[in-house]
Amino acid sequence: MDSHARLHCLIPRVEIEAAVNRLATEITADYHDKKPILIGILKGSFIFLADLVRRLDFPLELDFVRLSSYGSSRKTSGTVEVVQGLESSVEGRHVIVVEDIVDSGLTISFFLNYLKKNAPASLKLCALTDKSSRRQVPVTIDYLGFTVPDKFLVGYGLDFDEQFRYLPDICILEE
């Protein structure tokens, strides 16, 4: 079941590393004096966020949420739930949401709207990948790693049915 025969590499680790460095430079320019809260969307963003924050050498805080979306299938349900909420208050704070992939956009737009109700000083989105051809609702990605094709991707935190998150490259999982 965990055979790698159906995988091939789309974004090798050296390209991911270069993109993380670029995003860190952009975020540093904008936030070095703002003590932002970076909110990682679990579980998919955990590797990306861990690499990103180690390139950010200024005061910041971290928090995490878990949102239900895909379950064990490849299709988004459209119904989003906060399974595990924030510990911190975002009121008056500069917030950067960190996501692994924006696909239909339903999950992230739900969460951004939820945060907006809690009056952050500013709210931006950093996403490693954007499957823009699949968008159902408009989403502004302020800091983007890669635009990706309409393929199912795994690795570097992304899973299929909880498998493959540990792969160091972003790979296409063939049907």
Chain contacts with Mg ion (rule: CB under 5 A):
44, 100
Q: Among residues 26, 55, 104, 146, which is the contact residue for ligand IMP, using CB under 6 A?
A: 104
Nearest to ligand IMP of 44, 120 (CB atom): 44
Closest CA to 158 of 149, 145, 147, 171: 171
H or E stretch at 63: strand 61-68
Amino acid at 131: K
Of 5-13, 31-39, 81-89, 93-101, the window that binds ligand IMP (rule: CB under 6 A) is 93-101
Q: Among residues 10, 11, 19, 100, which is the contact residue for ligand IMP, using CB under 6 A?
A: 100
β-pairing, 81-84 vs 61-68, is antiparallel
Least distance to Mg ion, CB of residue 142, Å: 17
Structural contact between residues 90 and 37, judged by C-beta atoms closer than 8 angstroms: yes
| 132 scored as a contact of ligand IMP (CB under 6 A) | no
Structural contact between residues 52 and 20, judged by C-beta atoms closer than 8 angstroms: yes
Q: Which of residues 42-61 bind ligand IMP (CB under 6 A)?
A: 44
Of 12-20, 53-61, 114-122, 149-157, the window that binds ligand IMP (rule: CB under 6 A) is 149-157
| 105 scored as a contact of ligand IMP (CB under 6 A) | yes
Structural contact between residues 129 and 148, judged by C-beta atoms closer than 8 angstroms: yes
Q: Which residue's CB atom is positioned nearest to Mg ion?
A: 44
| 99 scored as a contact of ligand IMP (CB under 6 A) | yes
Structural contact between residues 142 and 151, judged by C-beta atoms closer than 8 angstroms: no
Structural contact between residues 98 and 74, judged by C-beta atoms closer than 8 angstroms: no
Q: Among residues 11, 49, 65, 102, which is the contact residue for ligand IMP, using CB under 6 A?
A: 102
Closest CA to 82 of 67, 64, 99, 63: 67
- Residues marked active site are found at 103
Applying CB under 6 A, the residues found at the interface with ligand IMP are 41, 44, 69-70, 76, 99-108, 131, 152-154, 158-159
